[in-house]
A and B are shown apart, each in its own frame.
Chain A
Amino acid sequence: DTGVSQDPRHKITKRGQNVTFRCDPISEHNRLYWYRQTLGQGPEFLTYFQNEAQLEKSRLLSDRFSAERPKGSFSTLEIQRTEQGDSAMYLCASTEEGSTYEQYFGPGTRLTVT
């Protein structure tokens, strides 16, 4: 399977705990995006990487959120001191530079904060 993969698929955590999610994009894709989706809504942009550089962060991304893409391949999204409002599906997408902008999405990580 050469699609975008995410791990874990589901995460249940208690309020105040830290969580980390991983995304492995399609191997030749140098652009990587993180989105968050809550029930009944479309995905909302969180952050964007081009290779290893984080070029844009949404105002939705509070100081408790941090993302990295250290070698320009996989990416991690960490949420510190989780809150119940962080419960959502976290989606990763990748695309090739110069493509027709089609973004390929991973299956997502569903986070539940209790």
Chain B
Amino acid sequence: GQNIDQPTEMTATEGAIVQINCTYQTSGFNGLFWYQQHAGEAPTFLSYNVLDGLEEKGRFSSFLSRSKGYSYLLLKELQMKDSASYLCAVPRSGGYNKLIFGAGTRLAVHP
């Protein structure tokens, strides 16, 4: 089976850095996605990691360790608009790439 764990809620201050962790267990591995979802809106793609290491994309970076079944999303220079849920997801192996999502981490950015 597949299982994804991430913290339920986090808070941070505008301008700060926050790291959102995700641990996963899969029978096969086809990469890991991070999506951002503002309240009442659709998830939007942030990053896809398939190899170990850090991938940087502007203020957002994503890290993957396949041996540890671990990923994190790093958000720098936080802005109020970054207040959202951040969803970690893995495609199910042999399952037409349907995504298995974690419950999401609700991030609240305060002034």
Residues of chain A whose beta carbon lies under 8 Å from any beta carbon of chain B: 4, 31, 33, 35, 40-45, 48, 50, 55-56, 91, 95, 100-108, 110
User: Please, which residue of chain B has its CB at the minimum distance from the CB of A41?
Assistant: B103
The CA-CA distance from A4 to B102 in the complex, in Å, is 23
| Interface: B43 (CB within 8 A) | yes
The CA-CA distance from A31 to B97 in the complex, in Å, is 10
Residues of chain B whose beta carbon lies under 8 Å from any beta carbon of chain A: 4, 30-31, 33, 35, 40-45, 48, 87, 89, 91-92, 95-104
CB distance from B80 to the nearest CB of A (A): 22
- A55 neighbours in B (Cβ, 8 Å): 96
User: Please, which residue of chain A has its CB at the minimum distance from the CB of B92?
Assistant: A45
Inter-chain contact A42/B44, CB cutoff 8 Å: no
- A41 neighbours in B (Cβ, 8 Å): 103-104
